[in-house]
Each structure stands twice: as C-alpha cells, then as structure tokens.
Structure 1
Amino acid sequence: MKTVSIFVPESSVMEAVADPRYMFTAANQFLQAAGKAPLFNVQLVALTKEVRLHGGVFSVHADKLIGEVKQTDLIIIPALFGDMKNAVEVNQAAIPWIVEQHNNGAEVASLCVGAFLLASTGLLKDKKCSTHWAYYNEFRETFPDVEIMDGSIITEEKGIYSSGGANSYWNLLLYILEKYTDRDTAILASKYFAIDIDRSSQSSFAIFNGQKDHNDEAVKLAQQYLEENFQERISVDEVANYVAVSRRSFERRFKQSTGNTVLEYLQRIKIEAAKRSFESSRKNINEVMFDVGYTDTKAFRNVFKKITGLTPIEYRNKYAKVEVAV
C-alpha cells in the first residue's frame, strides 16, 4: 500500500487539492475492478483540521495534521493561489515536515505554482523544475539556484516531481500513477478523465509578455526597440549602439534581465506575432512568415516549433478562428 499525502496549503487552488485525491481514489477502483488489491491510501493533511479557501467559499477538512503523519510515500503540493510570496509565507510551518519526509524516503510532487512552496524547502536547489509558464520570471528571480524547464509539462529528478501550468498537473498525476502501477492502469485513468496521457509540453499555450519586470532601463529601451522593429533585420551591435552600451556588457545585462539572449528575445517576439496572426487572420503560412521578418521557410518552421512545440500548420489548425488557405 502506497500512502499518498496531499498537503492542503493555505491560499491554494481547490481543484488542485480535489483532483489528485479523485485520481488516486479512482485508481483504487480501477485496480479492484481488475481483480487487484487497492494500492493507494489517500489522505489530506494540513496545518489545521479545517482549511478555508477562496475567502471561505470552500472548506477542506484534513484527515490528519502534518504532525500526525510520521511516514508517507508521496507528498503532493497543490497549486498556490494569489501572491506567491505571501502564499509561501503562510505555509512556512509545513516546510520542515516536507523536508523530513523526503529525507525519510518520501517522494514529493508539486502541481503548477505549488513549485514555489516546493522550492522554498531547498529540495530543488541545483535541480530542474517545471511550473506555470506565466510565472517563469518570478520563479527565476526568487529561486536563482533552480533551473526552470521552459515549456516542460513534467520534470522528475531524484524523487522530486513538478508540473507545468494549470490543468497540465493531470499529466504529472498520470505519470506518477503509471510509475506506481502500470501502463494499463494509467491509460484507463487517462480515458476516464479524458486526458492526453503523453502530452509533454505547455509551450503552445504560453503567451510572451515581453519580460519587463526588471529595473535595467537600457534593457527596457532595447526591448522596446526590438518590439517596434522586429520585422527588420536587426543585429546585436545595432541594438547595443542604440542604447549606448558596449556589446559585451549589453548582452550580459540583457540575458540577466530577461532570461533570454537578444536573439532568443527577438525570435520570441516574431513567433508571438506569428501566433496572433494565425489565430485571427486569413493569411497563409508564407504570408505570416514574411510579415514577421523571416524569408527562410525551414528556419521559420524550426524556430516556431522550438518555441511553441507545434509546427506552424499544427498551430494554425489548432487555434485559427477562421478557415484559411495553405
């Protein structure tokens, strides 16, 4: 029997508490229907017996307080809600317990931005991690010693799991279920919950917002220049001269402030413009490619797929509001 302890944080997302409980209790039913013994002892654990969420709209009653859980096999940390710094602070008392259980052999999984609480334990230091794409910058600034896996749905390293944004935590739950049971049980669960079992990227859902949450004014000026002139052929020297900073210093400051090189940033601007065009216009792929400053079809396709996880045709077919010609 595997004990699954779902920690119920203050300031958490209700669905991210209920869904893993639903998944593992349903898995027990699937196993029993197949003539096997149930495998999971699922329990909700918390700092208090009752946790009120979303201003008291929801109330979760814990099966056990964390101090009553002396041994567990898996700790699930649900997604947090609201201001991440505050959400971590109100759950500080749980951190020693999470660390102790991991040191005693328990695996730990964070769902979406539950990664902020997981990283606060120190267990992710010098390790890889997935989280919601919209929180990459804040996470990098808060935990510079943790490597964000850009676009990844699932990350596993030495018994520590993390998942990408929002509902992609279902893919991590399926991944863990398959690891603890077998492929057939995981496939049955994926069909029951209508989840794509092998989805591995959240890149196609990501929205590039320019990464301007920093205080380097020269870099901000460069970002504005790139965003206003992305259709043109722009060199790093040109942008460095524009902001009157030496190229070497400019490249270092730009990467430090945005998390991207100048070229990566320019590519992301171009691809974001292409995505918006595919979603809302009737233009074909070549027209969009030329509009955003690419002349090489192969290069455009490769960069587009690298950033979004989809080819231009796949993205257009998935998100276009109108039918367009190839």
Structure 2
Amino acid sequence: MRHVSILITNEAVLASIVDPRIIFTGANDFLAALGKPPAFNVQLVGLQKEIRLHGGLFSVHTDAVLGEIKKTDLIIVPAFGGDMATAIARNAEFIPWITDQHYKGAEVASLCVGAFLLAATGMLNGKECSTHWRFANEFREMFPDITLVDDRIVTEQKGLYSSGGATSYWNLLLYLIEKHAGRDISIMAAKMFALEIDRKSQSPFIMFNGQKTHEDEPIKKAQEFIEANITEKISVEDLALKYAIGKRHFERRFKKATNNSPLEYIQRVKIEAAKKHLESSRKNINEVMYDVGYSDTKAFRTVFKKITGLSPVEYRNKYNNIN
C-alpha cells in the first residue's frame, strides 16, 4: 500500500486538497468492492494540526504535521492562490522536506500552479513541467531553467509530475490511480466522477495574451503592430525593416522578449482572434479565416489545430451556442 501525503500549504486552494483525497480514497472503495486490498494510505499533511484557508472561511485538520512523516511514497502539492512569489515564500518550509522525500524515493505531483512550489525545489531544472496556461509567462520568468509545456495536461519526469490548469489536475490524478491501482480502477474512477479519461492537452482552453512585461520597446511596438493589424499578411522581414533591426537580430530579440518566434506570435494572435469569432458570431469558417488574414484554407486549419488542438469546426461546435 502506497502512502500518499497531500500537503496542506498556506493559501492552498481547497478543491485541490479535497479532490485528491476523494479520488484516492474512492479508488480504495472500488478495490474493496472487488474484494481487493486498498492501494493507498491517504493523509493530509501540514505545518500544524489546523490550517485556515480562503481568508479563514475554511479550516482543515491535518492527519499529521510535516515532521511526523519520515517516509512517504507520493506527495501531492496543491494549487494555491495569490501572488506566486509570496506563496512560495510562505511555504518555504515544505521545500527541504519535499526534496528529501523525493531523494528517498517518493514521487511528487503538483496540481495546477502548485508547480511553482515544486519548481522552487530546483528538482525540475532541465526538465519539463506543466501549469495553468494563465501563469505561463510568469513561470518562465521565475524558472528559466525549466521547460514549460503550457499546452500539456500531464508531464512525468523521473517521478516528478505536474498538471495543467484548474480542474485538469483530475487527469493527473487519474493517471496516478492507473499507475498504482490499475487501468480498470482508473476507468471506474473516471466513470464515477464523470471525467474524460486520457485528455492530453489544455490547448483548447488557452487564451493567448502576449508577453509584454519585458523592457524591449521596439519589440513591444512590433507586438502592438501585429495585434492591431490582424487582417494583414505580416512577414518577419517587414517587421524587422519597420523597426530598423536586422532580421536575425530581430528574431532573437523577439523570442527572448516574448517566448515566441515572430511567426509563432503572428499565428497565435490571429488564431486567438479567430477563436473569438467562432465563439460569438454566425460567420462561417471561410469568413473567419479571411477576417484574420488567411486566404489558404488548409494553412488556416493546420495552424488552428496546431495551436488549439481542435479543428475550426470542432472549436465552434464546442463553444458557440448561437442558433
């Protein structure tokens, strides 16, 4: 039986504590119904016996304080609210314990923005990680040595796991249930909790908002120009010439400032505009395509699916309910 430690961090999001406990204890219930022994010993672990969350609205009583857990098998790092740097500082006492337990053989799984605390351990340096797409730019700035795959729902890197944003952590929890209790129990959990099993990407949910917190003013002006001229066909050469920067140097500066190549940025801005049209208008696919500066149907569909994970038709059917 694997010992699961769900951390009760300061400013933890309550759902990301309750949901893991429900699914792991639920897996034990499914196993019991099949006449099998439990797979998980689940404990809530914090810095003290009682932790108040959400401005004191809720109180969580832990099963154990951190120092009492000498050995665990799986650590769940919940999401937390507020400023990320502040949240890491307020939970700094967890970092050496998480690191020590991992070196003793424990797996560590972060849910949503819990990835910031996992990243702060340094154990993800040189590895891939997922988190909520909304915090992607902030994560990259804080942890440049980690490869953020912000479209991914689940990452696994040598016993370190992370999940995409918000409730997509359920897919990581199902993944862990399958790994440690079997596919049949994972499927049973997915059906019981009405979850879509094996979902791989959070791309359909990402709302692109170009990184503009940098100090490179010509690049910022180029970004604003791209965003103000969605219907136009804009080339990298045109942008470099417009801002009097050599093409290769412009591409390097743009990538450094925005985490996207100029071409990627142009595509993502156009596709974000296309998504809004598909969500809220009666325009057909070709009309939307022309509105965002594409004239080649195949190219538009290819780029749209690459960025969102869905075809334009699938996206409209999913998000547009205009009759």
TM over 0.5: yes
Greater alpha carbon shift after TM alignment, 291-300 vs 128-137: 291-300
Are residues 1:91 and 2:87 paired?
Answer: no
> Which amino acid is 1:102 matched to?
H
> Which amino acid is 1:96 matched to?
P
- Any residues of structure 2 matched to 1:256-275 within 5 Å, and which? 256-275=256-275
Are residues 1:48 and 2:44 paired?
Answer: no
> Which amino acid is 1:115 matched to?
A
Q: Residue 277 of structure 2 corresponds to which residue in structure 1?
A: 277
Cα offset, 1:248, TM superposition: 2.1
Q: Residue 191 of structure 1 corresponds to which residue in structure 2?
A: 191
Q: Distance in 1 between matches of 2:32 and 2:312?
A: 45
Cα offset, 1:150, TM superposition: 2.8
Q: Which runs of 5+ in 1 are unaligned?
A: none
What SS does the aligned partner of 1:210 have?
A: coil
Q: Residue 182 of structure 2 corresponds to which residue in structure 1?
A: 182
Q: Residue 65 of structure 1 corresponds to which residue in structure 2?
A: 65
Q: Residue 7 of structure 1 corresponds to which residue in structure 2?
A: 7
> Which amino acid is 1:281 matched to?
S
Partner deviation per Cα, 1:180-216 (whole Å, 9 max, x = no partner) = 0111100000011110011111110110112212221
Partner deviation per Cα, 1:220-244 (whole Å, 9 max, x = no partner) = 1000111111221211121122222
Q: Distance in 1 between matches of 2:115 and 2:150?
A: 14
CA contact under 8 A between 2:31 and 2:185: conserved in structure 1?
yes
TM-score, normalised via structure 2 length: 0.98
Are residues 1:35 and 2:35 paired?
Answer: yes
Runs of 4+ in 1 over 4 A off after TM superposition: none
Q: Distance in 2 between matches of 1:11 and 1:242?
A: 47
CA contact under 8 A between 2:304 and 2:312: conserved in structure 1?
yes
Greater alpha carbon shift after TM alignment, 47-56 vs 239-248: 239-248
Q: Which runs of 5+ in 2 are unaligned?
A: none
What SS does the aligned partner of 1:92 have?
A: coil
What SS does the aligned partner of 2:21 have?
A: helix
Cα offset, 1:219, TM superposition: 1.0
Q: Residue 303 of structure 1 corresponds to which residue in structure 2?
A: 303
Greater alpha carbon shift after TM alignment, 237-246 vs 29-38: 237-246
> Which amino acid is 1:109 matched to?
A
Partner deviation per Cα, 1:296-319 (whole Å, 9 max, x = no partner) = 111111110110010111000000
Q: Residue 204 of structure 2 corresponds to which residue in structure 1?
A: 204
CA contact under 8 A between 2:240 and 2:250: conserved in structure 1?
yes
Q: Distance in 2 between matches of 1:83 and 1:150?
A: 19
Q: Distance in 1 between matches of 2:142 and 2:46?
A: 25
Aligned length: 323
Q: Residue 164 of structure 1 corresponds to which residue in structure 2?
A: 164
Q: Distance in 2 between matches of 1:199 and 1:267?
A: 24
Q: Residue 240 of structure 1 corresponds to which residue in structure 2?
A: 240
Partner deviation per Cα, 1:29-74 (whole Å, 9 max, x = no partner) = 0000011011110000011111111110111111111111011110
Q: Distance in 2 between matches of 1:5 and 1:99?
A: 14
TM-score, normalised via structure 1 length: 0.98
Are residues 1:287 and 2:287 paired?
Answer: yes
What SS does the aligned partner of 1:279 have?
A: helix
Q: Residue 231 of structure 2 corresponds to which residue in structure 1?
A: 231
Q: Distance in 2 between matches of 1:250 and 1:48?
A: 52
What SS does the aligned partner of 2:93 have?
A: helix
> Which amino acid is 2:228 matched to?
E
Q: Residue 116 of structure 1 corresponds to which residue in structure 2?
A: 116
What SS does the aligned partner of 1:305 have?
A: helix
Partner deviation per Cα, 1:98-128 (whole Å, 9 max, x = no partner) = 0000000000000000000000001101000
Q: Distance in 1 between matches of 2:302 and 2:67?
A: 51
> Which amino acid is 1:191 matched to?
K
Q: Distance in 2 between matches of 1:272 and 1:164?
A: 19
What SS does the aligned partner of 1:76 have?
A: strand
Greater alpha carbon shift after TM alignment, 232-241 vs 117-126: 232-241
